Amino acid sequence: MMNRANSTESINPNKPSLWWNAWLARRLPPSKQITLAHKSIFILPTGFGLLWASLILLLFILGTNYQNNLIIGLSFLLASLFNTCIIYSYKNLAGLSLSSLPSPQAYAGETLVFPIKLSSKQAQFEVLVSYPNNQVNVVKVIKEEAQLSLLQFNNPSRGRIIPGRLKIESRYPLGLCRAWSHIDLDNQVIVFANPIESHSTLSALDTDDISLTLDKGLHVQGVDEFKGLRQHIPGESLRQVAWKQLAQGRGMLSKEFQQPQGQPLWLTLDNLSAVDIEERISKLTWSIDKLSERGQIFGLVIGHYKIPPSDGESHRLACQQTIALLPFRREIG
């Protein structure tokens, strides 16, 4: 939990007062899918709206001083136009449905992308979507068919990133009013640590440190473990032909076997050569990716927590997430 508090703080340096956040959280609770309605839309005049109001006043005074009803009428028309714009501003957000999609993986320091799906029964125009202090996405037209907007989120640190409240705003049709909403799409993402190239873990692969390894390392083609079936190549040994499958009419297939080779590897923070724990975590991140790329079986030991050796994408993600979520500490004790 400390992690969570930590990361939000680092994202939102000038965050609004707490009661405002608490009020928003009560009024617009986090949800994966949100449709904006009167409860979630706020409208206030923009700076241009205030200028407009002073224009109305100016014309009214001009009309009064010249006793010119047409100029007074023009000022009323502009005032009424303002009123119409409030309704249109509301309409331009009301009924807007937003839902979050899972984010692609990202490493610390990279720009994170949050994909958001937008759709609305009635056409809506020029809606600005952004996370606080990040680039604003302009969605020109939103229609019934959902469209994707990829929201950028700059320079996150490793760990669980909660982007906070998404700001949606629109000044359509005349820029007099700003309708906006802050919604929480409940779309957190775990950002992996920034990878730093490290050869100490990879070289550990070559050492025969039996005490660390009980399992085997890399798989190579062999005879011990059944791996699967593949197309039979003419001229191959008939011993490997899967006769049962041939009888079932599935064609000539060969059984493939593999055999683990070398030593399976345990990754740990302790056998990395760096004083700073963050740097070690970064090196570990790099190693996990590198090993996964090679198809190496490896396990992870962080203190008392162990991830048993395995390989494959899900194993890689599990390992990366585990180290990404390690508490921040400047120095190791």
Residues that bind another protein (CB under 8 A): 48, 51-52, 55, 58-59, 61-81, 83-85, 87-88, 90-91, 94, 122, 125-126, 128, 130, 134-136, 138, 140, 144-145, 171-175
| Identity of the residue, 175 or 262, whose beta carbon is nearer to another protein in the bound complex | 175
| Identity of the residue, 145 or 313, whose beta carbon is nearer to another protein in the bound complex | 145
| Identity of the residue, 124 or 282, whose beta carbon is nearer to another protein in the bound complex | 124
Per-residue CA distances from 157 to 48, 153, 193, 258, 325 (Å): 38, 11, 7, 40, 11
| Identity of the residue, 137 or 258, whose beta carbon is nearer to another protein in the bound complex | 137
Burial track 136-164 (b if 16+ CB lie within 10 A, e otherwise): ebebeebeeeeeebebebeebbbbbbbbb
| Identity of the residue, 69 or 207, whose beta carbon is nearer to another protein in the bound complex | 69
CB of 174 to another protein, least distance (A): 4
Q: Find how far residue 34's CA is from the centre of its chain.
A: 17
CB of 65 to another protein, least distance (A): 5
Residues sharing a CB contact under 8 Å with residue 118, sequence separation 6 or more, in sequence order: 96, 97, 98, 127, 129, 139, 142, 146, 147, 148, 149
CB of 111 to another protein, least distance (A): 13
- 313-322: long-range contacts, CB 8 A cutoff, minimum separation 24: 316/288, 316/289, 316/292, 317/105, 319/267, 319/288, 320/105, 320/190, 320/192, 320/285, 320/288, 320/289, 321/190, 321/192
DSSP assigned state of 109? T
CB of 80 to another protein, least distance (A): 4
CB of 51 to another protein, least distance (A): 6
CB of 87 to another protein, least distance (A): 5
| Identity of the residue, 63 or 299, whose beta carbon is nearer to another protein in the bound complex | 63
Q: Find how far residue 131's CA is from the centre of its chain.
A: 12
